[in-house]
Structure formats: C-alpha cells, structure tokens
Amino acid sequence: MRFITIVSALVMTVAISFSAVAQNRWNVYAGGTLSHLCEKPWAGSYGWGGGALIGGGYEINFNSHWSLTPQVEVSYVNNGATLSGSDYSSKYANSLKTWSVNIPVIAGFRFPLSESVGLRFGVGPYLQQAFWGRIHDSNDKEISPSGNFSKRFNVGVIGEAAVETGSHFSYFFRTQYPFLKEGWIRKTINLSLGVRYTF
C-alpha cells in the first residue's frame, strides 16, 4: 500500500505541474466489468464474471487532439473461473474475486465527429495492487489467498475507446490485461463499459 501511495503522489505532482493550462480538467468515472480467466482449464471451459470500477483522473491536454490522463481507481473483479457443467469435483478451484487499487496512465487521441460529439482512443500502462481476495479451494470452500506485496502486485496494459458528448459526459469501452502471470491476478482479461464526467 505504501508503494501505491508513493506512485499516486508522483502522478498527482506531475498533473498539478500542468495545472496552469486552462484546458486541463479533472474527471470521475464508474462502470461495470466482465472478466475471464484466459488460462486453459483441466476440464470443461471457464465462464465470465461480473465486477465494477470507480475512479478519478486528471486530463492533461497538450493540444486539441493529444492528452495524457493519470487516474486512480478501485475495482472489484470476479475472474469468472467456474468450470462449465456440474459433474466436476472442483468446478470453482480457480474462481477468484479481488478488490484492487489501480493506477492507469492513458495517452489519448481525440477527434470531432460534429460540434457536440467526438471520439477518443487511448492506450497506456497500469499498476495494480490487490488488497483483498477470495478464492475457492479444490473442495469448493472459500479461502483468503495469502502472499506478500509481490503476489498482490501486477502491471499491464489498457486500451480505451470513448464517445464524448458535449463538454462533460463521455461513454467508454476498455480492455485491460495483466503482464505478470504469477500471484493473485493471473491471466485475467477485463472488458469494461462506463461513463465519465469531466469537470
């Protein structure tokens, strides 16, 4: 948690250093998430799990097209790792539900479609620190996963597409995938739909 605090402070310091630019703005957002464990199961196939996210960021605009947006968010992920069918003795063995703090930094490019509607595409890295989790063991009993900081930490990439309507609201779709395969998160892809309000 100390690492997340330090990185958050650095990101906010960089954002504040650009605050003299009038076009820079704060935003808040929330959305729903579908997640899927991409590993090959020992039998059957894995499904999808539902989750949610909420966060805020500071959009640093370099010009009317390019921007950089550091963000801090809290997310709940259910990796959907429930084996299909009902005849498996441990159908929930890889099912994992986690709460995490994420720090995405998204470089975006926007262009107008009309006077009031625009499109924005973005991509960037994110840091992730899980602070709570629940996993099923081979007997289908829920247990809390153990591990130090490195087991709960991950880094990955986010891609985002958004429709901006007016000067405040935008609606986004994004995909998120972790690079590190060990620890709590494993090979879980997240697909999110949400709404963002920019001040």
182: CATH: 2.40.160.20
- Find the Cα–Cα–Cα–Cα dihedral 123, 127, 131, 137, rounded to 10°: 80
Distance between CA atoms of residues 82 and 152, nearest Å: 22
Of 7-11, 25-29, 88-92, the one with minimum mean pLDDT is: 7-11
CB-CB neighbours of 96 under 10 Å? 23
DSSP 8-class letter at 111: E
DSSP 8-class letter at 70: E
Average pLDDT, the chain: 87
Range(s) of the domain holding residue 143 = 2-198
Number of domains in the chain: 1
Q: Is residue 33 within 8 Å of 63, Cβ to Cβ?
A: no
pLDDT confidence of 87, banded at 50, 70, 90? Answer: low
Residue 165 in this model has a pLDDT that exceeds 70: yes
99 exposure class (CB count in 10 Å sphere: 0-12, 13-18, 19+): middle
Residue 42 in this model has a pLDDT that exceeds 80: no
Residue 19 in this model has a pLDDT that exceeds 50: no
| DSSP H or E run through 171 | strand 169-178
